[in-house]
A and B are shown apart, each in its own frame.
Chain A
């Protein structure tokens, strides 16, 4: 009896092990990564035409991503901004054009836009109130019908009719988008009292940041949802018609996979002249950065869009075929300026001397070396201003004119002198300075768990001690933090004296939009302010200058305005930049694919390091080749 029992038990055990082993096979797709180069010979030509969704993807036809998609995809609806479909839908300055397409593609490296669905450059009329552009004759929808001007017009009409996020963001600046004939689109700007466009910059940026969606499909969608805005935005749109080179292959909780549409119109000679190289684009949902990092290390990820601390160790120490856009620090192109804002209503922080003293005492080199592990340009390399480090923006202001206002940081002596001269001294001998008899004591804060920001805030706080200003740190949860910081219709509460937020990256409306978001007083008083100027700075001169930029076409005058703004920014110091951060992190593993964009790679126009999905960087998908061993 006993023996029999054990026999049966062990048989059961074996059976269950065997079963569980079978169960895990579909997930075994990725470990093939390391041996992929051997099979290059048989690639491309022999492609299994039909692959069951969920089956292991052929490694040498698949480009794997990380750092973009963190949870399961909710929908495929290009009208909605809550689809959590990171690889598929992102209407932004550098729009993600994998599945849906914009008329133009923005290239952050040269600041130009290049036609995609559009044919040739767009043109302003003489009064600078209307933009006209043509649609490529070759452009087709996935159902084979041509993309027409009518589609562009109807997309806009739908955005307005249903007040989609895109609609509300542009409604104040775009009056109408009309189809003159099937190929010609006219965008009419909203005009002010003087008959000038309110904001030509935003009007122009529409063509490179918003998708064109098919009219026929939109009508189907409207019919299905009965004209209800909420339902329209909530529709999962599994049947959506698209114009891009990839479409949904399958998506579940663990992975989302796009497959190439071999009938993609872009293979026409008027656009790319060929298909993008990888047949599949895949993105596994990683638990966190550490998991994504391990996958990149193992060659299971080709393109990494996440912050990988000490990335250089991967090639210097581990000898892995991993590289970044630039060979040395900062490894990428900085595009946005993570910024520490002052609460200008905190006692003492209304004094420029105090703001400046803290700002010049902070040790920025340590922030960049420790918090960003050197993945940011230093302020010696790119002096502070309102511009990001791209050459295009740097050329927009006069560096020499603001030279005297610059600071390198860690200037304890200077900060102390500044405070002493302003009469802000330690009068009661407790080691901390007082202003109006009140001890200068502040809380520096950022959201909990945002490790690089937290590390930066620690360095800011450390500077306080050196100059007799008490700065303690505190890290509320993001849920709390964001509601407090974005409430601009009342003074910020205690505990938010110095706080970190982002600023705009690279885009067709930059640096104007970034400057507006950093300095414009129009956001003060908003109950829910996701735009900027969270420290509630207000300066009528600045507002005037910001208003002047979009309509200004004279470059000399523009440079004058930008220089003036930088001057005011560095004098008033309502906030200060702590580091430069790339638009997207971009590291690639060349175990399987190679010929990724990198500095001086000879591409013309240069392909920006935006993960081969955003704006002009999608051009990189056409240049990839398999690693030949």
Chain B
């Protein structure tokens, strides 16, 4: 046993696959201990907040402020509101409005803004200008308000009694806060999803659930396949015929179609992650059964089996002690593949809207389904669909790697 395990871990492929898998597993276990909070809790008011560090504006006003004189601060502030495209657009407007081109210098912000302020009229539609463009200029004009101001911003609060605004603080342009000292900062490495949930927290929880679904589905499929394969292969005769007949029947029907029909007919109310896992398990066993049967047939006339038969051992005993150990490595490999298949099937079902009941337990498939419903893929909100996609890919990739590694160790034909 020790020797076998050592042999397995000598396979590079297995080790890589195994470490990816264990890393994912560790994250799933450790992450919730650090970041507590409902994985499905709605924290954001709005959809698809981009990834980043979110700093409480309110708290940063109250945080200790530091004065920094940075040369590029003003330039950056202006650039964030007034891009080069905006400058060119302003020039277009001014020219269309009748300002001679040589009077417009788009590199000189101050002059440009002066000219703009003088000439621009938000209600004036230039001939041939689309309405969308007109609104663009209105928005641009609004955002330019106070752009070159060097004055400090004043913080005011409403007096509870009189309702009058009273100055409570001043924010100078050279004031900075240290993010580490702001009371409330939330890092959202993958932003939020369409419900305003933290994608990373949800992703970790979903990975856990998806792994469980895969495990349950894989165990069920392997167990059924193994039992039927052993019986058919060893007992043979009529039982073999019947089992092979049933297996072939299931093989002929495309598994996924069967899966869709069953999931649809049990209805949304009943569809928890566990039920989905069971359904996947009950539709995924046939090829395991076939392969196990083939292996058992080749084993059943070996000498040690015949010896065991002659010694009068029961069928169960022979199967368990003389056959099963010889195909154990194969069964483990089949199990690994079934688990990864289970995860993929859940995702596929969820994308079709036939996955587990929404929003009680997250799964990777459901995350992708909601991202798709809210058109994250079209709007370029990659953080809503790419992380679950990548996770699924990583899990199945790691499992397939482990499987190939195992194959190299156990398959005599591949052994070097």
Contact = CB atoms under 8 A, between A and B. Distances in A.
Interface of A: 289-290, 293-294, 297, 308-310, 313, 315-316, 319-323, 327, 365-366, 369-370, 373-374, 448-449, 451, 454-455, 458-459, 462, 472-477, 480, 495, 590, 594-596, 598, 627-629
Report the contact-size class of chain B (Cβ under 8 Å from the partner): 35 or more
B269 interface: yes
Interface string B350-380: 0001000111100000000010111101110
A448 B42 contact: no
A495 B132 contact: no
B267 A476 contact: yes
A627 B132 contact: no
A315 B131 contact: no
Contacts of B127: 628
Contacts of A454: 358
A321 B133 contact: yes
B188 to A, nearest CB: 15
B131 A323 contact: yes
B23 interface: no
Contact of B195 (A297, A449, A455): A455
B268 A594 contact: no
B135 A327 contact: yes
A543 B288 CA distance: 67
Contact of B375 (A290, A365, A472, A475): A290
B283 interface: no
B285 interface: no
Given A309-B374, A449-B353, A475-B358, A595 B131 contact: yes
Given A322-B132, A323-B135, A590-B130, A289 B269 contact: no
Contacts of B133: 321, 590
A310 B353 CA distance: 22
Contacts, number: 101
B138 interface: yes
Interface stretch (B45-53, B204-212, B230-238): B45-53
Nearest to B269: A474
B128 interface: yes
B268 A370 contact: no
Nearest to A374: B46
B198 to A, nearest CB: 14
Given A370-B195, A370-B196, A598-B131, A477 B268 contact: yes
A474 B357 contact: yes
B360 A472 contact: yes
Contacts of B46: 369-370, 373-374
A313 B268 contact: no
Interface in B34-89: 42, 44-48
A595 B130 CA distance: 7
In the A-B complex, the 6 residue pairs with the smallest Cβ-Cβ separation, listed nearest first, are: A590-B130, A321-B132, A628-B128, A323-B132, A369-B45, A451-B373
Nearest to A308: B375
Interface in B252-309: 267-269
Contacts of B378: 290, 293-294, 297
A322 to B, nearest CB: 6
Nearest to A602: B125
Contacts of B139: 316, 327
27 contacts: A293-B378, A294-B378, A309-B379, A313-B379, A315-B132, A316-B139, A320-B132, A323-B132, A327-B138, A366-B196, A369-B46, A370-B42, A370-B46, A370-B47, A374-B46, A448-B353, A458-B195, A473-B360, A474-B357, A475-B268, A476-B268, A476-B269, A590-B130, A595-B131, A627-B130, A628-B127, A629-B128
A502 to B, nearest CB: 20
Given A315-B135, A327-B135, A451-B374, A370 B269 contact: no
B42 A365 contact: no
B400 interface: no
A159 B78 CA distance: 66
B136 interface: yes
Which of B47, B132, B267, B375 has most chain A Cβ within 10 Å? B132
B247 interface: no
Contacts of A315: 132, 135-136
A297 B375 CA distance: 12
Interface string B115-145: 0000000000001101111011011000000
B194 interface: yes
Contacts of B138: 327
A124 B302 CA distance: 102
A496 to B, nearest CB: 12
A596 B268 contact: no
A289 B359 CA distance: 22
Contacts of B47: 309-310, 369-370, 373
A147 to B, nearest CB: 35
Nearest to A458: B359
Given A327-B138, A370-B47, A459 B42 contact: yes
A473 B358 contact: yes
Contacts of B136: 315, 319
A289 B379 CA distance: 13
A476 B131 CA distance: 43
